[in-house]
């Protein structure tokens, strides 16, 4: 007995041609630096799910054995052209944000006083210097 039905037809898998346009839907591929893929996916897939919900585009990272050797991973975005464009823009923001070192706002607000701990050291020794008063 043939069990070809156990394997779903290739229709459920996204097509491999990139970019592809068919009617009102299209697909683009972005090469994401290997060290940034985690930022796009997020913890437990949280970030990529949020991006898909907010933009309405479908997104997936291609886990190709050939790309494992590469320093970049292909991220495919498919759907309505406007949704794909918005999703692509959002992914590029995420990737570009980390290229500047620390994330804006969070990292910069915590670092403005680099001399702070040094100026506190003399204050910590001040109570002991007051003991000789009799």
pLDDT in tens, 64-94: 656 555 688 999 999 999 999 999 999 999 9
Total residues found in the chain within this entry: 134
Note down the domain range covering 35: 24-100
pLDDT (tens digit per residue) in 28-58: 999 999 899 999 999 999 999 999 999 999 9
* pTM (2 d.p.): 0.53
Residue 81, in any domain of the structure:
yes
Is 115 domain-assigned? no
Compute the distance between CA of residue 88 and CA of residue 30 in angstroms, rounded to an integer. Answer: 8
On whether residue 124 sits in a domain, the answer given is no
State the CATH number of the domain containing residue 55.
3.30.1370.10
In sign, the C-alpha dihedral spanning 103, 109, 112, 118 is: negative
Number of domains in the chain: 1
For the chain, the first-to-last Cα distance in angstroms comes to 102
15 found inside a domain: no
pLDDT at 71: 85
């Amino acid at each position: 007995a043939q069990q070809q039905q156990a394997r779903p037809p290739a229709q459920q898998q996204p097509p491999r041609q990139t970019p592809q346009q068919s009617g009102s839907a299209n697909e683009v591929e972005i090469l994401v630096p290997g060290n940034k893929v985690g930022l796009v996916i997020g913890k437990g897939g949280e970030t990529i799910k949020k991006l898909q919900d907010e933009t309405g585009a479908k997104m997936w990272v291609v886990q190709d054995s050939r790309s494992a050797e590469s320093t970049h991973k292909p991220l495919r975005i498919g759907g309505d052209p406007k949704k794909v464009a918005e999703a692509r823009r959002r992914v590029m923001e995420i990737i570009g944000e980390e290229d500047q070192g620390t994330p804006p706002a969070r990292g910069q607000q915590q670092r403005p006083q680099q001399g702070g701990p040094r100026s506190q050291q003399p204050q910590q020794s001040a109570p002991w210097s007051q003991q000789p008063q009799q």
